[in-house]
Amino acid sequence: MSDASMPGGVPSGSTPAERTGGAAPGAAAEGATGEGVIESGLTPDGGIPGAGASGGVAPGEVWRRLSPRMLIVHPFQVAVRAVPALLGLFVAGSSKGVPGHLWSLGGLVLMVVIGVLHWFTTTFRITDEHVQVRKGLFRRQVVTVPRDRVRTVDVTSHILHRVLGLARVEIGTGRSDQKGGGAVKLDALGSAEAAHLREELLHRQLAPTAAGGPLTAAPGPAAPAVAAGVGPGPAPEAVADPVVSPARDTALGTAAGTAAGPALGTAAGPAVGTVPPAGAAFPKEEETELARLRPRWIGYAPFTLSGIVAVGVVAGFLSRLANEGGVDLMRLGALRDGWEWFTGIPVWTAAAGAVIAFVVFVAVASTLGYVLSFWGFRLTRHSGGTLHVTRGLVTTRATTIEERRLRGVEVSEPLLLRAVRGARLIAVTTGLRVGRGAQRGGSLLLPPAPVAEVERLAERILTPDAAGRVPVPGPAGQAAAPDEASPVTGPLVPHGPAALRRRFTRALGANALVVAALLALSEWAGTPAWTWIAALAFLPFAALLAADRYRSLGHTMTREYLVTRWGSLARRRVALERDGIIGWNVTRSFFQRRAGLATLTATTAAGRQGYRVSDVAMSEAVGIAAAGIPGLLDPFLVAHETAPQTAHEPTPVSPPERPAP
Amino acid sequence: MQTTPTLRPPLHRVSRTAIWYWTVRAALGWLVVAAAQVVWMVAAGGDHAVLRVTALAGTAVLAAAHLIVMPRWRYRVHRWETTPEAVYTLSGWFKQEWRIAPVSRIQTVDSERGPLEQLFKLANVTVTTASAAGPIKIGGLDRETADRIVHELTASAQATAGDAT
């Protein structure tokens, strides 16, 4: 791991994804030599694992290119995006003149050229310490990510990628202050190379960590193997040597083959002593299947409403066909006849028919979407300390999450799904986005499935098994009750009558405001009276919503996890590892203060970045915060009986004496 | 938790000069509003003159109240404290907010001086952690204090190992 192997790199300890201008002297010089290496060292195919290693050069030293097959993919993608315009040009006839289409064709050609240039200007390499990507034509950039900051690796193949044997690799670094979480994208590599890269990035780095880090406190079965292969002390080169990869790949292949059967819970098995003989520094990968899609879960699909997106997509396509393609939809005979028939029938029948058609369409589209996204879903745990999700019917996706970075799980129950006792499971981890589009964001650990199944899986993920991660020891002084309530299913502390009142005040108050506004409008601005009557009729639903929102509210603290649950339309229960909490925010609005309540937010680098315990009593909020990170709050706490301490005049910053804890 | 514990306010207030800084900053904002109203009055000519004068007068009254009350109130409620283990702030009066972060989880400590802050020899300090929800801001510090905070926090944050996530 000599520093000389990576000029143009950044000192370790600087920010994880530092952008260095290509004009910097070091980088420029490196660029020049690097190009030379590419010319000689790159095999044009790139589909073989470790292809960069050909010619005896260690792959880490070589600037590698994306797969040349991208030169086919890119023009095709551009063409697909331009389908409405092309349809308008060639098929449906046009109301605009020809020059307009020539312009858009010119635009297409330009986009293709840019895409091709993108391929020529992008190179990357994986050194012992960094992942580096160089890109840009006029503004050369070198993006450098230290490898110990790599949290997740996401491998996606769209249909065209799959036909050509390609895969896009996205490396998540868990930076929260950068757009896209500081992720590095490589679009695309040969699929074998992508899979290899994933192994290389996430599994290999565990070896040095396990040998030297604090995580080997409890000797799991994997630890002796690591020690045997690596030796804790003086042979770091063995750890870092990337040439051993082919041997490892075969070992991996067999592991995957044997674990594909129905045998669950065999991970605590014989990892010891199965070190591949070729001097590989890794224990043999053991793979345990934690979950697999069952076909009957597809029955939950219509309740996810994901099909509503499809309605938007179809509408968008039609409008683009009309605008860009210049197709006059009303000139299509069938459509026009349908519309005339539709406007001819009585309004109530039409409305009912439209609603039914909409519901059916959404249900069908949701089911299709479910099958497309989650077909072949499989969640496995690797002895290397990662969780691995593979899924997808047409577009395949493989996400690898480092378990050490998994800070908890979120059981998400949208209202409709809850009504049929279904739920989803989402990972709370650094490096993957959560929230809107979590399904696309790759942090999904289980698609909509029976809630019992979700809870069973969540417990299994949170419970470290022998071959998996070693739990971070609980905060000092907290004796572990062996039969402690599970963070996933255990009972929660309700938030009390003040929180209940607040739920009702907010729901009914908001509804009353809407009613009043609509009433005023109909009185003075002449909007139809049924608007405010409808809003008034919604009042009972608002009350139900408030009651359910209160029923959802709850929190608890276990030895390792802070658990909080909230929401009605989308109820979520989050178990957040206490060790992953990196600060507390307590907020109290004017109204909360009158009700004696406060909202506690546990900030974290994972998932949503902050998890709230809403509307708890102020003393409870402080109690949770004090217990959650022991010792942090002690200097700032006073017993309730004493009068609030008056603040001193501004004094120099010298820290005040802390009372002994 | 034998007795119910409560958070005491942080020890330190910000610099007294900050009152004037906040006043001037808010006054500039109000001047923009007033200027827009004057332009409107002049440009639109005669009709509804009374309404416009009333609006301008109303703005003036609101501005005066805001400029007198806000800075002093803010000075009373904004507090901060640092220890070798933690950074602790309290801010806000309609919506109070306590923020606490362990020094061991600090990622960056920034100090910034805007043009107006320079005029008053003030600075603000922003302490960020790995969480997007967790930055702690202390505004209106005098320059020496800000520098000292940055220095102290940087030193103790560097002393801790790990990547603070």
Q: Which residues of chain B neighbour A475 with C-beta distances below 8 Å?
A: none
Distance CA A397, CA A252 (A): 19
Give the containing element (helix H, strand E) for A589.
strand A581-589
Contact check, Cβ <8 Å, B145/A626: no
Confidence (pLDDT) at A49: 36
- Is the CB of B159 inside 8 Å of chain A's CB atoms? no
Could you tell me which of B7, B16, B23, B20 has the C-alpha nearest to residue B145? B16
- Is the CB of A472 inside 8 Å of chain B's CB atoms? no
Confidence (pLDDT) at A120: 86
Distance CA A126, CA A104 (A): 40
Using CA atoms, how far residue A234 sits from A148, A227, A498, in Å, is 20, 12, 62
The domains of chain B are located at 12-76, 78-159
Closest partner CB to B13 (pick from A608, A641, A647): A647
Closest partner CB to B83 (pick from A593, A629, A635): A635
- Is the CB of B82 inside 8 Å of chain A's CB atoms? yes
Report whether the peptide linkage leading into residue A188 is cis, meaning its omega lies within 30 degrees of zero: yes
Residue A247, judged by CB atoms within 10 A of its CB (0-12, 13-18, 19+), counts as middle
Confidence (pLDDT) at A646: 41
Could you tell me which of B121, B21, B113, B130 has the C-alpha nearest to residue B71? B21
Side-chain-side CA neighbours of residue A174 (13 Å): 27
Contact check, Cβ <8 Å, A647/B79: yes
Question: CA angle, corner A300, sides to A378 and A288, nearest 5?
Answer: 15
Closest partner CB to B99 (pick from A583, A604, A605): A583
> What is the Cα B124 distance to its own chain's centre?
8
The distance of A603 to chain B (nearest Cα, Å) reads 6
Distance CA A562, CA A410 (A): 12
Closest partner CB to A653 (pick from B4, B10, B149): B149
Could you tell me which of A251, A255, A256, A239 has the C-alpha nearest to residue A276? A251
- Locate A586 and state its tokens: 């307590």
- Locate A506 and state its tokens: 């907010």
Confidence (pLDDT) at A133: 87
- Is the CB of B25 inside 8 Å of chain A's CB atoms? no
- Residue in A176, A612, A645 to test binding to B, most B beta-carbons within 10 Å: A176
Sorted by sequence, the CB contacts under 8 Å of residue A19 that are 6+ apart come out as: A141, A142, A143
Contact check, Cβ <8 Å, A582/B95: no
- Is the CB of A605 inside 8 Å of chain B's CB atoms? yes
Range 163-192 of A in CB contact (< 8 A) with B: 174, 176-177
Sorted by sequence, the CB contacts under 8 Å of residue A375 that are 6+ apart come out as: A293, A391, A392, A393
Residue A530, judged by CB atoms within 10 A of its CB (0-12, 13-18, 19+), counts as exposed
Distance between terminal CA atoms of chain A?
Answer: 43
Confidence (pLDDT) at A514: 93
Contact check, Cβ <8 Å, B83/A587: no
Q: What is the pLDDT of residues A555-582, one digit of tens each?
A: 999 888 999 999 998 999 999 999 889 8
- Per-residue pLDDT tens, chain B, 165 aa: give them: 445 678 888 999 999 999 999 999 999 999 999 998 888 878 776 667 788 888 889 999 999 999 999 999 999 999 999 988 899 999 988 899 999 999 888 888 888 888 888 889 899 899 988 888 878 999 889 889 999 999 888 888 777 756 666
Closest partner CB to B129 (pick from A583, A593, A632): A583
Confidence (pLDDT) at A575: 93
Residue the block writes with tokens 């970075």: A405
Using CA atoms, how far residue A585 sits from A425, A581, B164, in Å, is 26, 11, 18
The distance of B38 to chain A (nearest Cα, Å) reads 31
Distance CA A550, CA A592 (A): 15
Answer CATH for B78-159 from 2.40.30.10, 3.60.110.10, 3.40.190.290, 2.30.29.30: 2.30.29.30
Which residue from A minimizes the CA distance to B100?
A: A584
Confidence (pLDDT) at A51: 36
The distance of B121 to chain A (nearest Cα, Å) reads 16
Contact check, Cβ <8 Å, B96/A593: yes
Polymer length in residues for chain A: 661
- Locate A86 and state its tokens: 């092309």
Q: Any long-range contacts for A44-49 (C-beta under 8 Å, 24+ apart)? A: A44/A68, A45/A190, A46/A189, A46/A190, A46/A193, A47/A165, A47/A190, A47/A191, A47/A192, A47/A193, A48/A190, A48/A192, A48/A193, A49/A192, A49/A193, A49/A195, A49/A196, A49/A245, A49/A246, A49/A249
Distance CA A327, CA A84 (A): 9
- Locate A184 and state its tokens: 């590095």
Give the containing element (helix H, strand E) for A344.
helix A333-344
Q: Beta-carbon neighbour count of residue A592 at 10 Å?
A: 21
Residue pair A238/A267 in contact (Cβ under 8 Å)? The answer is no
C-alpha torsion angle, residues A137, A141, A145, A150 (rounded to 10): -40
- Locate A18 and state its tokens: 């530092």
Contact check, Cβ <8 Å, A619/B5: yes
Phi, psi of A582 (to 5 degrees): -120, 25
Ranges of chain A with pLDDT below 70: 1-61, 84-104, 174-183, 203-285, 324-332, 431-442, 464-484, 640-661
Distance CA A293, CA A376 (A): 6
- Is the CB of B37 inside 8 Å of chain A's CB atoms? no
Confidence (pLDDT) at A148: 77
Confidence (pLDDT) at A228: 31
The conformation of residue A13, written as its DSSP 8-state character, comes to T
Q: What is the pLDDT of residues A597-650, one digit of tens each?
A: 999 999 988 888 889 999 999 889 999 999 888 888 888 888 754 444 444 433
Range 120-149 of B in CB contact (< 8 A) with A: 128-134, 136, 145, 148-149
Confidence (pLDDT) at A331: 67
Distance CA B50, CA B67 (A): 25
Residue A407, judged by CB atoms within 10 A of its CB (0-12, 13-18, 19+), counts as buried
